[in-house]
Amino acid sequence: MNGFIRLNPNQAEDRSQLERLNITFIGNTNNFVYVKESTDKPAQNQIKIECLQTSLNNEIYIGHIKKFTSNIKINGSRNCIRFYDTGHIINSNIHVGGNENILEIGSDCSISQARILIDGFRNEITLGSNCMLSYGITIQNSDSHAIIDLKTKERINREKDIHVGSRVWIGANCTVLKGVQVGAGSIIGVGSVVTKDVPATSLVAGIPARLIRRNVSWTRSSNPSSAEINNLCEMVEQESSFLQPPY
């Protein structure tokens, strides 16, 4: 990715740079952290990265983030984690297991007290730009334990990708499970468990989540002005890709 510099925790100078950026690195140092070249010391940031001893050649990209106070734990190799220039990632826990997986958090997202878990081999979890995640949210692409068909002796619950489009609002205490694609501009109601795809610009809620209403979206303002509402409607109308699932 352009505009990043690579820091190797094995190197004393690079480790000092990580400490200056309030990034604590623990465990196997045969992994790499990439930061923006012009990154100043973020006073509000406190990032803890832990790579277990068997974890090798993982790459963690950290863009310009206003406030990042979260933990990243990796148990696997050749995984890629990307945090684009974004708003806030606060008191969250990110767990990466397995090998060659990709986790991406888009720009201008706000995330608080979330648990994001990705496991398996060559799987993906992606969040588009300008998403708003309330507290107590879990996003996971696996069931954490294997389920075996006793006749065939085969595992029947493999990991699956999760893709969340841009400008998605996920309410408090929601769970987004494996194989789900959430369309752009959509809303997931408080306490929902999402097991199936969510159409773009729609509202879903419940356990399991079901479609409540189509052709709706949201603003960060609790009392938007007429201009803000008009801008939202124009954006949805003009950006044809905004209306196509999953993005």
The whole-angstrom separation of Cα 230 and Cα 177 is 34
Helices (H), the chain: 12-20, 226-238
DSSP β-ladder status, 138-140 and 175-176: parallel
pLDDT, position 44: 78
For residues 70 and 45, give the distance between their C-alpha atoms in angstroms, rounded to a whole number: 9
- Residue 109 is predicted with a pLDDT of 95
- Distances in whole angstroms, Cα of residue 67 to Cα of each of 92, 128, 218: 12, 18, 23
Asked whether the beta carbons of 102 and 79 are under 8 A apart, the reply is yes
Q: How many residues are present in the chain?
A: 247
Residues 6+ apart with CB under 8 A from 48: 24, 26, 70, 71, 72
Q: What b-and-e string marks burial along 20-48, b requiring 16 or more CB atoms within 10 Å of the CB?
A: ebbbebebbeebbbbbbeebeebeebebe
pLDDT score, position 41: 54
Question: Which pTM was predicted?
Answer: 0.91
Quick: pLDDT tens for 153-206: 999 999 999 999 999 999 999 999 999 999 999 999 999 999 999 999 999 999
Beta pairing class for 115-118 and 47-51: unpaired
- Which residues in the chain land under pLDDT 50? 240-247
Cα–Cα distance for residue pair 30/57, rounded to 1 Å: 6
Q: Please give the Cα distance from 99 to 130 (Å, whole number).
A: 28
Helix (H, G, I), strand (E, B) or coil at 234: helix
Q: Which residues pair with 93 in a beta bridge?
A: 71, 115
